[in-house]
């Protein structure tokens, strides 16, 4: 009989200890209603100071503007970009890739890259100057030359990749590089794409270098003027190949 009582006492003691451990884990000895109804605190994202971002200081999420530019928003253009809409009036540039084909003739189907000298090569007619011409102009010239060799010619010329529609932002910005020129982009927008200024940028000594044939035009840009809505004509629309230099 004493052994039986001892065994019962031991089992009861173990059960009490286990119950106390469970209660401690789940906090059952405190107010049960409070435990079930108390909501988790809501985390409010801190506001981002635009001035701090402009100066190249860390953002509220702890990332520097250069890091943020790598993970969100526009990024430097990849090696090639598929065109959204390219019509017959598009001016072909160096690096663009063209799909050229003659209907019902597999031997006359080719993807041609516009070389640095502006030329492409095509069977039967050899070298053709493409850079600086519209798609329509190039097609007309190729039709004229191919007509000597192909009867009932039906020629197709399409832009497969836009590699020449780029601008460059270099110097004291947080994410310098090459960017896609999609639509109308201003100088201010391009600077934002490049992550904004770093703390040492000469923001009122910016220059835009624009190639016009054999001539290079240099256009000044004073950030403080544009930021304060003065001399807004400086905030020009960029063109293919423009280079923005932030000293």
Nearest-angstrom CA–CA distance, 50 and 75: 20
Determine the structural domain holding residue 193 and report its residue range: 65-76+165-246
Question: Is 182 strand, coil or helix?
Answer: coil
DSSP-assigned letters across all residues of 21-37:
HHHHHHTTTS-HHHHHH
Q: Are residues 71 and 177 in the same domain?
A: yes
Interval 134-182: pLDDT, tens: 999 999 999 999 999 999 999 999 999 888 889 999 999 999 999 988 7
Q: Are residues 192 and 205 in the same domain?
A: yes
* 26 falls within a domain: no
Interval 4-27: pLDDT, tens: 555 555 555 555 545 454 444 444
Please tell me the pTM assigned to this model. 0.56
* 47 falls within a domain: no
Burial track 145-181 (b if 16+ CB lie within 10 A, e otherwise)? ebeeebeebebebebbbbbbbbbbbebbbbbbbebbb
Interval 224-246: pLDDT, tens: 999 999 999 999 999 999 999 99
Lookup result for tokens 């982009």: 185
Nearest-angstrom CA–CA distance, 9 and 12: 5
Q: Are residues 107 and 154 in the same domain?
A: yes
* 12 falls within a domain: no
What are the Cα distances from residue 50, in Å, to 56, 194, 225? 10, 15, 17
Nearest-angstrom CA–CA distance, 8 and 12: 6
Provide the token pair at 206: 């910016």
* 41 falls within a domain: no
Provide the token pair at 118: 């502006």
């Amino acid at each position: 009989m004493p052994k039986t009582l001892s065994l019962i006492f031991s089992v009861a003691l173990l059960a009490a200890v286990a119950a106390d451990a469970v209660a401690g884990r789940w906090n059952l000895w405190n107010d049960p209603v409070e435990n079930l109804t108390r909501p988790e605190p809501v985390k409010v994202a801190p506001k981002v100071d635009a001035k701090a971002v402009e100066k190249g200081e860390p953002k509220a999420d702890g990332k520097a503007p250069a890091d943020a530019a790598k993970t969100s928003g526009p990024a430097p253009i990849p090696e090639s970009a598929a065109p959204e809409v390219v019509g017959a009036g598009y001016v072909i540039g160096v690096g663009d890739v063209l799909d050229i084909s003659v209907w019902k003739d597999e031997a006359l189907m080719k993807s041609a890259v516009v070389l640095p000298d502006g030329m492409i090569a095509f069977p039967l007619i050899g070298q053709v100057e493409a850079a600086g011409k519209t798609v329509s102009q190039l097609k007309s010239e190729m039709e004229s030359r191919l007509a000597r060799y192909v009867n009932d010619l039906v020629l197709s010329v399409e832009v497969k990749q836009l590699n020449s529609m780029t601008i460059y932002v270099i110097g004291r910005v947080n994410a310098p590089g090459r960017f896609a020129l999609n639509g109308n982009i201003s100088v201010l927008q391009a600077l934002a794409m490049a992550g904004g200024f770093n703390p040492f940028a000469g923001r009122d000594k910016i220059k835009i270098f624009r190639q016009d044939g054999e001539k290079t035009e240099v256009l000044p840009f004073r950030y403080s003027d544009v930021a304060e809505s003065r001399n807004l004509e400086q905030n020009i629309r960029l063109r293919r190949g423009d280079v923005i230099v932030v000293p």
